[in-house]
Structure formats: C-alpha cells, structure tokens
Structure 1
Amino acid sequence: MTTRKEFLKTAGLLGMAGIVSPVIAGTVKERPSAASTSWADGSRLVVSVSMQFEAGGQPQNAESPFPQNMVKGFKDFPAETWYQYGYKEGIPRMLDNWDKLGIKVTSHMVGSAVLKNPALAKEIVQRGHEAAAHGRDWATQYTMSYEEERKFIKDGVDAVKDITGVTPVGFNANWLRRGENTLKILQELGFIYHIDDLSRDEPFIIQVNEKDFAVVPYTLRCNDIQLVAGQWFSTDQFLNQVKMEFDQLYEESAHKRRMMSVSFHDRIGGSPQMVKATNELFRYIKQHPGVVFRRKDEIARMALSDKNTIRE
C-alpha cells in the first residue's frame, strides 16, 4: 500500500509538502524523511489519558445536566451534588481502575478544587499520577491582562504544589481557551508543555520566548464531556468510537508516529458504567504489541529530547 510520503515523492511533491524541509520560511517543519516511525522509547503508539480534577472548583450555578433555568439569585443545589460526585465517587473509582490496569495518567487540577479536597489531590500523586495545572478556578483567562493571567496561573500552580508537593509542568486552560500571553507566561513559570491544541495526533515542538516548548495535543473526539455529557452518548457508543479511533491510529503507527489522547472528567468518567467501559477499552488496547500508556509530562520530555519530533 502506498503511503502519503511515497505518493508525494513519486509525484514530485515531497518538497512542496514540507516533509523534508519547508519551502518558505515560517512554514511547518516536518521530521526528516529518514526518521524512525517509533518513539524514542521504542514503542509503536503512545496512549495519553487525562483525568480532570475540577469538581469543587466550579462557580455557583455552573453548567450541568439540569436545565439552565434557575431564577437569578437562587442556588442550584442538585447541580452542586452532580459536581460533588466527582470527588466523592468519580476520582476514587477511576484511581482504582488505573491501578487494576497498571497505567498512569495525567490529572489537570483546578487550584480551588485541590484546596477543597487536599487529601484526594495528595492521593492522586501518591498513586503515581501526574499533577498538572488547570488554572486557579474556572475564570475566563483569555480576557485577563498579562499581570492578571500570570497571577491566575501561578495561584493554581501554588495550590497544587502546596498540597501535593509537586510543581506542575503541564497546563490546560478552561475549555482550551488560552490567551495571547498564555504560552509566554507558562514558559516564564517553568512549564514545559501545554495541551490546548487539537491540530495533530502526535506531540510537536514550538518556540516560546525563543525556547523549545512542547505541545501534547488534547482531544474532543475521545472525551467524555463532549460525547457523554454533551451529546448523551451511551457507554457502548463511547466505547465503540474510541475503539475505532485506536484501531485507525494503530494501523497508521506502522509507518508514522502516533499518539492517542483520551479524556475523562471526575463527575462523568468516574461513573460506574464509564469505568466499566474504560476498563474493557483499555484492556483491548493493551493487547496490541508496542502500545504504551504515558503521563503527559513523560510524553513532553520524550518529544523535547527527540531530534525527530515535528517542529512548528
């Protein structure tokens, strides 16, 4: 079967496509044509799992499965219990599932949620998972001034560090909506990667403040808040969609570096039915040779240290 690279080479379009080198300064720089398709650790395909720790940090009357028809000035008590499920049941159940599967994940933690549930935040780290940053709260950071946003990000980092003892090196903005200054601030604060990007199925490197900075792409296609809470997928539909995503990426990984991202949120992905579906899905994935599960900080460091990583 002819690959895209072989087709472009045969058609004399390889240089135009930017696969060997960019034609015009500033275009995307692809990896060298002789680069290995496998990862630096020898794996064939890397699976990146997110476990968002947000519950408890949401604003009053935040979006929920309940109709958004609350009379102004009154508190939405049932919606609050939906969020409480995330830290009372959801994350503990997911943590047990990750142990059964023998995998480690990345937990993007909202600072105010961590401060309200410190024991749970500590447990996540103690069980070997990555504590990454997700802002101080659910504020809209892209409207902030440089100084306001820097404090907003740092406050979230400090909350995670003070409770868990770990300084986050990865960042996720609320609904991925970063601002013009976000990446510059992250680089200044010592972060090495962000995930607010949907443009590739593998990590890549960009220049921020004239330094390398990793992008570990996120997902909406394999995301419980988008599919289950947003489109009311059944667990069977979710399982089938993510399985098909894996099958296609695994096929591509025979000749191209691939990463699969899957995202779970505390109050959604931690439900009994979703954990059961996830266990079945990941056991299926683990049966395939060359597949590994990696925390996002591990993926970012692999990408930054590998000369074959795509640069943009």
Structure 2
Amino acid sequence: MGPRRDLVGYGRRPPQGTWPGGARVALNVVVNVEEGSERSMADGDGRGEGLGEVPRAVDPDYRDLGTESVYEYGSRAGIFRLLRLFDRLGVRTTAFAAAMALERNPDAAAWLVESGHEVCAHGYRWSEAWTMSREEEAQAIAAAVESITATCGQRPLGWYSRWMPSIHTRRLLMEEGGFLYDADAYNDDIPYYAPVEDGWQLVVPYSMTYNDSFYHYGHLGGPSDFVDYCRRALDYLAEEDDGAPRLMSVGLHPRLSGQAARASALAEFLEHATSRDDVWVTTRLDIARYWREHFPPPAGEPEAIA
C-alpha cells in the first residue's frame, strides 16, 4: 500500500516564524546534475534518453547521437557556466546529483564542493525507483552514498528521486540512517515531517513549477518569461501575511539553463533575489538544519503505517 495521503497538511494553522535574519522566504536553487547518468545505449541500456532540445524521437532501435550530445553540452559547458555565475553572485545551491554523473565529471564535482554547494543524492543513476524491487532500491541508495562520498569527500545528507519515489523509498532512507531530509514531494511551500513507522522524516518539498524544463516542454516563450515567472512567485511569497516561513525551489538543468540566453535570465532573477533583505538564498541542507532546530518533529512516535 505504501504511505497514506495527506490532503490537509498544516491547513489554516501553518507554523509561525521566519528564516535567519527575519527572512520571509528561503530560496533554494537546485541544479540537477544528471548528464552522463541518463539512459544510453552506449551504457548498455535498451534505449536512449529523451528530454533533448527538440520534440522528436529516434526509433528506439537506433542510438540517438543528437540527444546524447545535448546531454554532453550540459556536462562539458553548461555546468561550468552555471558554476561561474553562482561564484560571481555568491550564491550557494543544492546539486541534485546522480552519482555516476559526478564520477564522469570530477572537475564539476570538485567545483561544487570547493564553492560550498550542497551535493544531494539523486540516485546512483538517473533511474526510476518505482520499477525496482525493495532490495534493488536499497542497493541503489547504498551505491549512491558510497560513490558520492568517494567523489566529493563527504556523504550526501539529502535525497531526491527521479520525479517520484517508490512506495519503499522513505523507509529505506530512514533505515540507511544518514539522511537529514528528502525532497521527494511537491505538496507544500513549507517543510514538514512525514510519519514513517516509528519515526519522523523531514521533507523539504521540491517543485516542478519554477523549473527550466518548461523550456523543453514549450511552456516558456523565452528567457524573459522565466525571469517574470520566478520573480512574481518570489515577490508574492515574501509579501504573504500569514506569518509562515515560505520555501521556494527553482530547478535547473545544465543542459538547459547552461545555455547562454537562459543563463542570463537566471542571473537577472538571482540578482533580484539577492537584493531583497527578506529572502534567504541558501542550500537545502541549511534549510533542513534550521527547520530541525527551530521546528522540531511532533512529540511521540507516529502511528504505524502500511
């Protein structure tokens, strides 16, 4: 059966307070480092990956060198353009990083660590946990932790699955024992604790709303749309008056936002965000640590769930 649905959450009584320095919004920029870990015939997979720059598909019996090269752009050029931008603006981000992608791009991995970005585990490969057995998924989680620790010199303390977790994921993360949070939900603007058998797992929700994948899907006409879309959201969240601290996630992909025109839009939005005194631009790990300290989990054990 898996976890129960919660359609209420905080309801009319959200937690009251602010982020450090009295900030109203915690803004977390997420860089999805996946290039090199996606499905590829070159890696022995039965098919290649989609989500390239053009809405077309190659017959699955053939290797799609065009889409492969789009992913290579993210690894060869896009990630480094983004890292230069973050360094220039003094912005620390969270990398949702597939372990294999880091293994294959050690320069990018080193830069992430040296600049103080958080490396959050995004699986060993950019794979679909819901197709795995419980044992296979546990092994994949362990492999991701081992690999990222070896590549980056520090273990990941956060987890984000590809699009959605399996019904076992949250339990497995708690059993592994080293994760302070997961981001496997899109259901709130505020962190919360999810019941998992005899414990509470901190969830720092992610969002697909403020995400550069809309360039690919055709929902954004151009970079200016991205600036307007994200800026409106940030300003609105900061000016809401219910007394609750808000979280905003902006999702990026080096193969998409690493392109120059899109990077310029990202720079414009981040310059606006960092100019606001009521916005805390930070990593997901810092958000998790702050939440655990100032908004601890409920007292007692949750009711056992299936």
Structure 2: gaps spanning 5 or more residues: 1-5, 41-47
Q: Report matched runs for 1:11-26 at 5 Å.
A: none
Tell me which of 282, 287, 297 is aligned to 1:294: 282
Tell me which of 166, 169, 188 is aligned to 2:175: 188
Q: CA deviation at 1:36?
A: 4.0
Describe the shift of the 1:289–1:67 C-alpha distance in structure 2 as closer, same or farther (beyond 3 A): closer
Instruction: Provide the residue aligned with 1:79 in structure 2.
Output: 67
CA contact (8 A) 1:31 1:309 kept: no
Paired residue secondary structure (1:174): coil
Q: CA deviation at 1:110?
A: 0.8
Structure 1: gaps spanning 5 or more residues: 1-25
- What TM-score comes out, normalization by structure 2 length? 0.86
1:90-131: per-residue Cα shift (whole Å, max 9, x none)? 111111111111110000111111121122112211111001
For 1:157 and 1:235, locate their aligned partners in 2 and report how far apart those are by CA, in whole Å. 35
Tell me which of 113, 124, 134 is aligned to 2:101: 113
State the one-letter code of the partner of 1:44: R
Q: Report matched runs for 1:123-202 at 5 Å.
A: 123-175=111-163, 177-189=164-176, 190-202=178-190
Instruction: Provide the residue aligned with 1:95 in structure 2.
Output: 83
CA contact (8 A) 2:120 2:158 kept: yes
Q: CA deviation at 1:256?
A: 2.2
CA contact (8 A) 2:200 2:297 kept: no
CA contact (8 A) 1:196 1:218 kept: yes
Q: How many residues align?
A: 285
CA RMSD of aligned residues (A): 2.4
- What TM-score comes out, normalization by structure 1 length? 0.84
1:170-213: per-residue Cα shift (whole Å, max 9, x none)? 111111x1111100111122111111211111111223242232
Instruction: Provide the residue aligned with 1:4 in structure 2.
Output: none
Q: Which has the larger radius of gyration?
A: 1
Tell me which of 36, 39, 43 is aligned to 1:59: 39
State the one-letter code of the partner of 1:183: R
Describe the shift of the 1:34–1:280 C-alpha distance in structure 2 as closer, same or farther (beyond 3 A): closer
Instruction: Provide the residue aligned with 2:203 in structure 1.
Output: 215
For 1:34 and 1:80, locate their aligned partners in 2 and report how far apart those are by CA, in whole Å. 45
Instruction: Provide the residue aligned with 1:5 in structure 2.
Output: none
For 2:125 and 2:9, locate their aligned partners in 1 and report how far apart those are by CA, in whole Å. 36
CA contact (8 A) 1:90 1:271 kept: yes
CA contact (8 A) 1:171 1:191 kept: yes
For 1:280 and 1:72, locate their aligned partners in 2 and report how far apart those are by CA, in whole Å. 39
CA contact (8 A) 1:49 1:106 kept: yes
Paired residue secondary structure (1:289): coil
Describe the shift of the 1:117–1:237 C-alpha distance in structure 2 as closer, same or farther (beyond 3 A): same
1:235-284: per-residue Cα shift (whole Å, max 9, x none)? 01111111111111011167321111111011011111111111111111
CA contact (8 A) 1:108 1:172 kept: yes
Percent identity for Structure 1 against Structure 2: 28
State the one-letter code of the partner of 2:27: V
Q: Report matched runs for 1:225-244 at 5 Å.
A: 225=213, 227-233=214-220, 234-244=222-232
Instruction: Provide the residue aligned with 1:50 in structure 2.
Output: 30
